[in-house]
Structure 1
Amino acid sequence: MILPDGYSDIPAGKVAAIVTHLEMTARPVPRADPAGAWTLRRVETPPLDWFRDLYRRVGEEWLWFSRIRMPDAELTARLHSPQLEVYAMVDGNSDEGLLELDFREPGHCEIGMFGVTARLVGTGAGRWLMNRALEIAWSRPVERVWLHTCTFDHPAALAFYQRSGFRACRRQIEVRDDPRLDGTAPRDVARHVPVIE
């Protein structure tokens, strides 16, 4: 459905975001790595508790909730798919970044999840992690690498992806039940998105 021009009401109890899809169809010139002692660890068969904990620590403030609401069997099947790769960015002895690369569509790589915890925001860790993501993605026989971001995400996310070589290619509106109203997310997160009951 195409929304008409003008304002469209969003029912109470819902949240709405503008989702921007971005893509690259050729490997970009690599950006210089920032200084940092991070490492990347592939997690072959991610345990659900580990995955959801890191997912929350990276994305709860930005209203990441799809993997929290996903039934265990569905999430397990997704994470354990041989065409989906999950990586942890390690800072010292702690997993502080999440990267999910989805190769299930031949010739394409979707960066399904990407982010670092609040402790690393602004340190250059995101650029370091994106450099690793693009190295891995473009080492495979792909013709397109893509991802999406939305207006719930960190305000610098869209510009960061564009600096990394992605270009916007599609825009959508996503409407969902507010995860703070059913306990999926704490009530006090994402203050940049007001709760309307």
Structure 2
Amino acid sequence: MMASIPLDLDGYTDLPPGLIANVVTYLEMPSPTIRPARPAPELSVRRIMSPTLDEYRALYRRIGHDWLWFSRIRMPDETLRAMLEDPNTEVYFLERDGAPIGLAELRRAKPEAGNVEIGMFGVVPEARGSGAGSVLMASALESAWRGDTRRVWLHTCTFDDPAAIHFYRKHGFQPFKFAIEVSEDPRLLGLLPPTAGRHVALIEPKQAG
């Protein structure tokens, strides 16, 4: 477990070796706003009931390699399995001609709260800019707003695709909060290869002696 780091809220804070930090932006949609996607007959969105860890993580890695996604890789198998099998979690794969190219993961809070989080969202590199993300988002929002939902929210960060904020705002989300996330560099932990997240500097801790 990492030690606490005093944070200067009016300046710079040096991080201990091996740690990385990014700014997280939280966005919300307080009422249904579903932007129709351009028709794409070769694309379909399918809910995956109790996906296997291997198929889930394989798609997660393909989507997240460039953006340094690692939370689901680091998560213990039993924890991830319990989350994916939780009835309040919904997993959707965007498929092109039957092959998965996108992931949307919805998590519903307790019924009285009426909040739905889009916990994971993305498409594989070869599908970016093709309209596939809009197809997946339209379907995810249709699912999220079923029932007594009163608010849908998600978050992105400065490690993510630079176009993410614009994409989410285009689909009706509005930012409402910033946060700073500090974590151990997953490349130094061996969770991701050194080639992951090339836009985030890889700083090797200096060896003593």
TM range (shorter): over 0.9
- Equivalent AA in structure 2 for residue 188 of structure 1: T
What is aligned with 1:73? 78
8 Å CA contact 2:7, 2:13 repeated in 1: no
What is aligned with 1:151? 158
What is aligned with 1:104? 109
- Give the Cα–Cα distance (whole angstroms) in 2 for the partners of residues 127 and 51 of structure 1: 21
8 Å CA contact 1:84, 1:104 repeated in 2: no
What is aligned with 1:34? 38
Moved more, 3-12 or 18-27: 3-12
Quick check: which has more Rg, 1 or 2?
2
Which whole-Å deviations, capped at 9, do the CAs of 1:37-73 have from their partners, x for residues lacking one? Answer: 2101111111001110010011121111000000001
Number of corresponding residues: 196
8 Å CA contact 2:24, 2:181 repeated in 1: yes
Which whole-Å deviations, capped at 9, do the CAs of 1:136-158 have from their partners, x for residues lacking one? Answer: 11122111100000001001001
What is aligned with 1:133? 140
- Equivalent AA in structure 2 for residue 173 of structure 1: I
Q: Does 1:87 align with 2:92?
A: yes
SS of equivalent to 1:189: coil
**Please, which runs of 5 or more residues in structure 2 have no aligned partner?**
1-5, 205-209
Alignment of 1:43-54 (within 5 A): 43-54=48-59
SS of equivalent to 2:35: coil
8 Å CA contact 1:179, 1:185 repeated in 2: yes
Deviation at 1:93, TM superposition (A): 2.5
Deviation at 1:14, TM superposition (A): 1.1
RMSD over aligned Cα atoms: 1.2
Alignment of 1:112-131 (within 5 A): 112-131=119-138
- Give the Cα–Cα distance (whole angstroms) in 1 for the partners of residues 25 and 37 of structure 2: 26
Moved more, 30-39 or 134-143: 30-39
What is aligned with 1:62? 67
Deviation at 1:2, TM superposition (A): 6.3
SS of equivalent to 1:101: strand
**Please, which runs of 5 or more residues in structure 1 have no aligned partner?**
none
4+ residue segments displaced more than 6 Å: none
SS of equivalent to 2:156: strand
